[in-house]
Chains A and B, each alone.
Chain A
Amino acid sequence: AQRVTQPEKLLSVFKGAPVELKCNYSYSGSPELFWYVQYSRQRLQLLLRHISRESIKGFTADLNKGETSFHLKKPFAQEEDSAMYYCALSDWRNDYKLSFGAGTTVTVRA
């Protein structure tokens, strides 16, 4: 069975500092990985997916199969980045169901 681990429940950084959210996974095969974000009083929404290799709101995430990681990074954090972030893995062998990590709450301080 697949498993997604986000080791940090809380992460606090200063505005303008780099921020990195860790995500590790266990999956036998080629994973499809995503980052979802939930801003205060807003819905959970997709931030980015590894297959697109895109940068959204300054965030990037690189899939490292050797380390089974998909860490989310941003070089200069902004106050509006304060939110709950979830790493998720899609299991194509099981109806593409998403498995979510426990989430990391990010607070960006001025």
Chain B
Amino acid sequence: DGGITQSPKYLFRKEGQNVTLSCEQNLNHDAMYWYRQDPGQGLRLIYYSQIVNDFQKGDIAEGYSVSREKKESFPLTVTSAQKNPTAFYLCASSDSWETQYFGPGTRLLVL
């Protein structure tokens, strides 16, 4: 699998710590997305970006921040303000409204 990569696979966060999840794509897609996946709740949109240097909040942006300085990169920072960060985080990219391509995910755990 190439195309869209996420790292690390597992990430541990201590109380009060900010952590950053990496998402990179080589598909030349303009749009990128971050989702949070929790059991029984499906995928919920955190942030999305349709073009470099621009991004918008999704449905659950509180406690998260992003940047889009390069087309291929869309890192997500989980800040200490996010009180329930334990989840599986999925990054996706797309070049049209029809299909989103997903990364393998990062599982964030709180120590």
Contacts and interface: CB of A to CB of B under 8 A. Distances in A.
Nearest to B35: A100
B97 A90 contact: yes
Contact of B1 (A43, A86, A101): A43
Contacts of B1: 43
Q: Which of A6, A43, A103 has the most CB of B within 10 A?
A: A43
Interface stretch (B41-49, B60-68, B69-77): B41-49
Contacts of B102: 43-45
Interface residues of B, number: 24
Interface residues of A, number: 22
Interface in B19-77: 33, 35, 40-45, 48, 50, 56, 58
A96 B45 CA distance: 12
A103 B41 CA distance: 8
5 contacts: A32-B97, A44-B92, A44-B102, A97-B58, A100-B42
